[in-house]
Amino acid sequence: MNEITVVGGGLAGTEAAWQAAQRGVPVRLYEMRPRKMTPAHTTGKLAELVCSNSLGSDQVDRAPGLLKHELRTLGSMIMECAAAASVPAGGALAVDRDIFASLVSAKIEGHPNIEVVHEEVTHIPAGVTVIASGPLTSDALAAEIAALTGAGHLYFWDAIAPIVSLESIDFNIAFRASRYGKHGDGTVTAPGENPGEGDYINCPMSRDEYYAFIDALVSAEMATLRDFEINTGQFFEGCLPVEVMARRGRDSLAFGPMRPVGIKDPRTGRRPYAVVQLRQDNVAGSLYNIVGFQTNLKYPEQDRVLRMIPGLGHAEFVRHGHMHRNTFINSPLLLDASLRYAPKARAGAVNTVTHDSLFFAGQIVGVEGYVGNAATGLVAGINAAALVSGQPLVELPGTTMLGALCHYISHAEPRLFQPMKANFGILPALDNPPRDKRARSTLYAQRAQRDLEAYRASSPSLSIQAAAAVDLQAPV
């Protein structure tokens, strides 16, 4: 009981290990890569990002930004590394994925209280354990979790977007600009100023170009998915393949990831009919991912169809998009708000065996987005350390974004449970809320920050961090 086992070296697992280790508790962190790779990862580094390189909005009056602020307040290692590896992304936080993974790996591997073991875990470990095995949990461990929880299956499907090289983009057509001229540093392009310093590369489309592209997209051949049919609906709405979105209607992309609001084509001075945006993917600025274009098209079809996008006629695809399995449990039946395994009795239950020293974190609990994964890892790591140290477990106020996420995944309707990302809709309603959406968001953020500070001041499991913290700096 004096040591914690963490299974999984992604965002949730590394954050959980760091939080426990910073509180003076020995941690053994298991990551099966590179000994056993997944279909989506390419390296053995910890916290390798396989989908987008964006961690979402960094503005505190936006739900993802509020969650980031709370994590920084609570001493998140992932937020520290993300800041050090950041690249321009407007009002969002995006990172050079290679530098980010290197920073996290250095932090974890250099911590005196953490031992990293590159082996596959096939059974649920004894003792205090955090399972943060992520969307690509190995078949053996997934079977063990399914047996423990009595679940029929633990997965849906996810998709990732392609990446192209900067030098292959045609800037006779494409141009740099941020929506409404807003930059990541808060400045706005002034009248007459060169707009070419925007954080995104934009590929504008005319009406005819857009509809020709849509017709090609919906008729393109998709890769075969084992044991899965695309129409079963077993995928998270926010990660739908672009071809699936296009089949919902010919204008669905023009009102979705290709909406042209806030963008003017410098060649015409007018807003294009549709626009494809590319976001910087590494610090060097040599790679860009196609925003919102996660796809399951066959690779030759991606080459053919995506090169119809104006400015990408000769695009070099450094990484093609593809789909992969995403594993999650029915958390409302299995977890409490501390993320400890505490199954609820239910009619027809296969197994309600308790495991008082087991915690879950990351996508496997049904949160979406990189920051949500890290956030649940932070909670699970703090609480695993608290359990070892005889401290009370942390259940953050439901008025905070992190507290609301933990409450949602532990209290949602089990029959309808689907992965959830940070959003103001899961927070308790305000007293006398203003009608203006931005004003409401600001009040939500102010209440969350106030309640988090009050809770932190009263929680011994949070306050021990300052006394036990190890000051470590990882090289870039």
- Per the listing, tokens 């594993």 go with 327
- Give CA–CA dist 104/87, Å, rounded: 16
pLDDT tens, residue by residue, 133-184? 998 888 899 999 998 988 766 766 667 889 999 999 999 999 999 988 765 5
**29 strand-pairing partners:** 6, 116
108 token code pair: 């974890």
Binned at pLDDT 50, 70 and 90, residue 468 comes out as very low
100-106, long-range: CB < 8 A, 24+ apart? 100/47, 100/49, 101/43, 101/45, 101/46, 101/47, 101/48, 101/49, 102/45, 102/476, 103/474, 103/476, 104/14, 104/45, 104/46, 104/47, 104/77, 104/78, 105/45, 105/46, 105/47, 106/474, 106/475
Q: Residue 217 pLDDT more than 80?
A: yes
Q: Residue 439 pLDDT more than 60?
A: yes
Q: Residue 411 pLDDT more than 60?
A: yes
pLDDT at position 118 is 97
The arithmetic mean of pLDDT across residues 45-54, rounded, is 91
pLDDT tens, residue by residue, 57-89? 999 999 999 999 999 999 999 999 999 999 999
pLDDT tens, residue by residue, 356-395? 899 999 999 999 889 999 999 999 999 999 999 999 999 9
Binned at pLDDT 50, 70 and 90, residue 190 comes out as low
- Mean pLDDT for the chain overall: 88
Helix (H) or strand (E) holding 322, with range, is strand 322-327
Q: Do domains 4-154+328-468 and 160-324 have the same CATH topology?
A: no
The arithmetic mean of pLDDT across residues 200-212, rounded, is 97
Question: Nearest to residue 458, comparing CAs of 378, 401, 397, 400?
Answer: 397
468 token code pair: 């036990």
Q: Residue 99 pLDDT more than 60?
A: yes
pLDDT at position 227 is 46
Q: Residue 191 pLDDT more than 60?
A: no
Give helix 77-84 / helix 11-22 axis angle, nearest 10°. 120
Binned at pLDDT 50, 70 and 90, residue 52 comes out as confident
- Per the listing, tokens 């306050």 go with 463
The arithmetic mean of pLDDT across residues 441-462, rounded, is 95
Q: The pTM is what?
A: 0.78
In the chain, what is the straight-line distance between the N-terminal and C-terminal CA atoms, in Å?
A: 35
Q: Residue 203 pLDDT more than 90?
A: yes
| DSSP conformational letter for 10 | S
pLDDT at position 155 is 62
Task: Give the chain's length.
Answer: 476
- Buried (b) or exposed (e) across 443-465, using 16+ Cβ within 10 A? bbbebbbebbeebbeebebbebb
pLDDT tens, residue by residue, 264-314? 999 999 999 999 999 999 888 898 999 999 999 999 999 999 999 999 999
pLDDT at position 469 is 42
pLDDT at position 80 is 98
Contact indicator for 77, 18 with CB cutoff of 8 Å: yes
**Annotation: CATH topology of 160-324:** Elongation Factor Tu (Ef-tu); domain 3 (2.40.30)
Q: Is 262 left (phi over 0), alpha (psi -120 to 50) or beta?
A: left
Q: Sort strands 322-327 and 155-160 into parallel, antiparallel or unpaired.
A: antiparallel
Percentage of residues of the chain with pLDDT beyond 70: 87
Instruction: Point out the least confidently predicted range of 52-61, 101-110, 177-186, 413-422.
Output: 177-186
Residue 178's SS3 state is coil
CA 289 to chain centre: 16
Contact indicator for 278, 289 with CB cutoff of 8 Å: yes
What residue ranges do the domains of the chain occupy? 4-154+328-468, 160-324
Q: Which CATH number fits domain 4-154+328-468: 2.30.30.100, 1.20.1090.10, 3.40.50.1980, 3.50.50.60?
A: 3.50.50.60
pLDDT at position 414 is 86
